[in-house]
Amino acid sequence: MNQKPATPKDAAAVILLNDAGDRVLWARRNPQIAFLGGWHAFPGGKLEISDALLPVENCADAKLGKFIACAAREAFEETGVLLARGGERLTRGQRASLHDDLISGRMTFAEILEHWNLRIDAADFAYTGFWTTPQFSPARFKTRFFLAACPSKQTPYAAISELENVEFIRPLDALNKWKKSEVLISPPVLLSLKTLAEDGLESEVQNPNSVSKKLLANSQKADGEIRHIELNPRVICFPLKTETLPPATHTNCFIVGRRRFVVIDAASRDESEQNALHRLIDSFVESNFECLAIITTHLHGDHTGGETVLQTHLKEKFDLEIPLATHRQTANALAGKVDFQTFIEEGEAFDLADEDGKPFLLKTLHTPGHAAGLLAFYDEEFGFLLSGDNVVHSSSVVIAPPEGNLNDYLSSLERLRDLPDLRFLCGSHGAAVFDAKSKIESYIVHRLEREKQILGAIENGAKTASEIVERVYVGLSPELLKLAEKTVEAHLEKLREEKSF
């Protein structure tokens, strides 16, 4: 079963500088939002059809006009900042009431502009290129970014519930928060912050051209493609196309550490995906970074398939002997298919090092349930969990007996939820999760609710797993029926183990 990646939707965002030109506006997206909830981002959003009808003056590139309009509208909607000439005539109260008119639908943005004789001028927006959400995300955007100065006397605020903690911040301070793993930053924002910090914004106030040109060059060099995501300075998430279960299309490969690093789930069997991963790992090896192991989290086919190819590649290209490592149970299950040299046990820690050579520990957690040998990894100092297939971003996890065991799975989830100082997690599929504890708790609650529904179906006369599925999973797409049946069997097995059935 394989799904196509989602088609990116057009969008625009603003890199808004403060009056002094030394700070940039960012905000945390509400953690409840499905797309990048809890991540820090710039204000922005999806292009609306009406954006193309908004007048944009002095626009040399006709194709960009609607995106400038979109950026201006989104900045106003999300932060109350009116990036339009003539806006200086309005008081703070007037702007707030116009914002109210817009959000409540009493007036459109076009009507507001026209009524108050406000003009969007392309000269106020420096185009800094576009970035496209990586393929693994169920929601994808091709976002055009614009650098703009916040008009004096306007103070941005969280004007809609989608955003929290709207603030101007020095790019270096923002990066330091990220370096300490205090925040998750969306990839284009992180890239922009790095460029802004490099440039030192102050000198760019009079001439934002130079910094915007650098930003644009970065985007053009990558053709707007985000191939991997730096979750913090220690963890890179490299989503690889795999034959996995919908809604996922990719499996996350993780490269943890820099000067001393491990590769977790080099999973793809696709040659061009393997090559893309190899290019990044080659660059690490060429920087004299040391690879300690190529790790496989568990036996499933969407987590294996590229590890031996990577091992051979590193041997042939650099004459390196990197061991393939996994839990003994996984190695036994894959005997004859993958030849593992190292077995990893619960509690074992990898002694890794970041870019500056500072050491840190990545602890191994043996978490049976989804698979008997499933491994998760925890960086306790950063409170960052790589949860494997225990918890993923946007769907529930399949527990299919006899390999899967629901009692074990729930114990593993409870254990992960109670890890000391846990803050973030990233599973094997989908984006990193901002509030790891709540996410894991929601998985536990979901399972227990499902159990209640199953008990209810049995009380109402359902006898077989497929009869239970019919009653509990109403409207399920046919290709997922088999998996639902497996899940019901796992529940029945749990109930039998507890002798309540």
Q: Which residues bind Zn ion (CB under 5 A)?
A: 300, 389
For helices 481-497 and 436-459, give the axis angle rounded to 10 degrees. 80
For the four alpha carbons of 286, 290, 293 and 297, in that order, the dihedral sign comes to negative
**For residues 90 and 82, is the Cβ–Cβ distance under 8 A?**
yes
**For residues 445 and 254, is the Cβ–Cβ distance under 8 A?**
no
Q: How far is the CB of 303 from Zn ion (least distance, A)?
A: 6
Give me the amino acid identity at 252.
N
Q: How far is the CB of 468 from Zn ion (least distance, A)?
A: 23
Give me the amino acid identity at 335.
A
Toward Zn ion, which CB reaches closer, 300 or 494? 300
Q: What are phi and psi of 443, to 5 degrees?
A: -65, -40
Q: How far is the CB of 272 from Zn ion (least distance, A)?
A: 23
With CA atoms as reference, report the closest residue to 309 among 348, 267, 262.
267
Toward Zn ion, which CB reaches closer, 79 or 367? 367
Tokens found for residue 8 = 């990116």
Q: How far is the CB of 110 from Zn ion (least distance, A)?
A: 50
Q: How far is the CB of 427 from Zn ion (least distance, A)?
A: 10
Task: Give CA separation, 357 vs 259, 352, 354, 443, 471, in Å.
Answer: 6, 9, 5, 37, 56
Toward Zn ion, which CB reaches closer, 174 or 248? 248
Q: How far is the CB of 334 from Zn ion (least distance, A)?
A: 13
Residue at shortest CB range from Zn ion = 300
Residue ranges with strand state E in 309-439: 324-326, 342-343, 349-353, 359-366, 375-379, 384-388, 424-427
Toward Zn ion, which CB reaches closer, 391 or 468? 391
**For residues 330 and 343, is the Cβ–Cβ distance under 8 A?**
no
Toward Zn ion, which CB reaches closer, 99 or 298? 298
Toward Zn ion, which CB reaches closer, 3 or 207? 3
Q: How far is the CB of 300 from Zn ion (least distance, A)?
A: 4
Toward Zn ion, which CB reaches closer, 66 or 300? 300
Task: Give CA separation, 69 vs 119, 149, 160, 350, in Å.
Answer: 10, 15, 19, 50
